[in-house]
Amino acid sequence: MKFTSIGIPALDEHLGGGILKGSTVLVIGTPGSGTEFFAKQFASAGQEAVTYFTSTERDEDILNVMREYGWRTDLKIVNVGTRYYESVLAKKLEISRFRQEGVTLGDIRKFRDEDSMKEANFLTFLSYEISKLDPPFRVVINSLDFFLENYESSEVLMAMRTIKSHTQHSESVTLMTMLKGVHESKIQSSVEDLADVILELDREKAGHEFKKYIMVEKVRNKPAMVGIIPCVYDKTGIKPAP
């Protein structure tokens, strides 16, 4: 089996059996287009052990969605967002206290051997966590926007390349989500360039409702497979319209 599921059986079929093992998938869309939802459906599929990195959701929110749709809940959630805001907020609070009250000798000595005051680099953390995973793994990174907002884009791209090649060599799969139209086009193009498969979730107003589409924008080495697939959301998740 050289394929693994993208999370939507009919889409797997459209892709000729699924996505190739070793693929990095990018899903993009405007806010509200369903990229986060798709990320969970992606996490529900395949045989690999799932690690879900999130920067925007609470663990509970993710699990609730998974339960609601009857998807697997045995995924490992790594909440980068919580860690980030806890450490940044804690540090900011501490700084304001020191600025207000001054730094005592005790404060200076206190953390001497620890680097607890040092702001963790979450980009490094992400790469490191992924490097530790036993292959084959299924990784979701929701979302790249968090990293692009907080780190230099060149650093983010370098980390993504590392993750991509690790995914490739270990015959695993990685999905990254990214908002459309918020980053510089050069950055967006670079991210799109390293993805093996790009899906864009789109919608169009038709009368009183939205028509929804999955646009398959890129399948590496298979240009014939790109196309626009109308889709619907039901109790099984997202799927091509009948």
Partner 1 sequence: MPQKSGERERCVTGIEGLDTILYGGIPRANTILLTGSCGTGKTSLALEFLIHGAMKNENSLFVSVTENSEKLLTNIIPYRFFDKGLIKSGRLVFVDLPIMYERLGMTKPELSMEEIDLLVAAIGSLAKELGAKRLVVDSITSVCYKLKTSEKIRDFILNLGKVLSDQNCTSVLVGEVPATSTAYSSFGVEEALPDGIILMANMERRGDLLRTLQVIKMRGTMHSRAKYVLDLTPMGVLLVPLLKGGSTG
Q: Which residues bind partner 1 (CB under 8 A)?
A: 91-92, 94-95, 98-99, 102-105, 107-108, 112, 117
Of the pair 99, 208, the CB lying nearest partner 1 is at 99
Closest approach of Cβ 87 to partner 1, in Å? 13
Of the pair 123, 214, the CB lying nearest partner 1 is at 123
* Spatial CB neighbours of 112, under 8 Å, sequence gap ≥ 6: none
Of the pair 108, 241, the CB lying nearest partner 1 is at 108
Of the pair 93, 232, the CB lying nearest partner 1 is at 93
What does the alpha-carbon distance between residue 52 and residue 54 come to, in Å, rounded to a whole number?
A: 6
Closest approach of Cβ 114 to partner 1, in Å? 12
**Residues, the chain, total?**
242
Closest approach of Cβ 118 to partner 1, in Å? 8
Closest approach of Cβ 106 to partner 1, in Å? 9
Owner of token pair 């001054």: 102
144, 160 in Cβ contact below 8 A?
A: yes
Distances (CA, A) of 81 to 26, 137, 229: 20, 22, 33
Closest approach of Cβ 101 to partner 1, in Å? 8
Nearest to 139 by CA among 23, 30, 59, 56: 23
What does the alpha-carbon distance between residue 49 and residue 127 come to, in Å, rounded to a whole number?
A: 17
Of the pair 105, 224, the CB lying nearest partner 1 is at 105
73, 63 in Cβ contact below 8 A?
A: yes
CA 225 to chain centre: 23
Closest approach of Cβ 153 to partner 1, in Å? 20
Give percent helix, percent strand, percent coil of the chain, each to the nearest 5.
40, 25, 30
Of the pair 115, 134, the CB lying nearest partner 1 is at 115
Q: Which amino acid is at 145?
A: D
